[in-house]
Structure 1
Amino acid sequence: MGLFRRRPGDDRTWGMRFTETFLPIFGPASIRRTPPVPPTAEDLAREARLRGTYERVTGPDGHSYVVERRDD
């Protein structure tokens, strides 16, 4: 079964070679070929409300958290 056999100079892992065998069936990921759709006024207003209500805080362990903004 030469389907999964490594060819000379091929540095892909066994898992990558196995996964790539499904490309002829399922195809590559879908890529939008049209220009992006600009956000609506409603989306921009929602984003502004969220950014005014919440803030991103980095904890001492290095992880980021989203917390409600305090009115100090």
Structure 2
Amino acid sequence: MTDKHFIFQRIQNYAGEGFDPTADDQIATMLQSKFNIYLPQRTSVDKSLESTSSDHEIIDLIIQYRALTA
């Protein structure tokens, strides 16, 4: 099993700032401001993240982190 803290640290390193990867609004804001990635409107943020997971490695890390905290 992958270490939750290690994934969190990698997310923070990519983002270059502190944010909560479980907070939907913070994810959308950070992806737009840092990576110019706009999440498509889906029934949930998790589905939006899944549909854009190939856009940047941070998205896959966020998905993994959210799965570990669920």
- Tell me the TM-score normalised to structure 1 length: 0.22
- Tell me the TM-score normalised to structure 2 length: 0.23
Query: Which structure is higher in RCO with an 8 Å CA cutoff and minimum separation 6?
Result: 2
Structure label with greater radius of gyration = 1
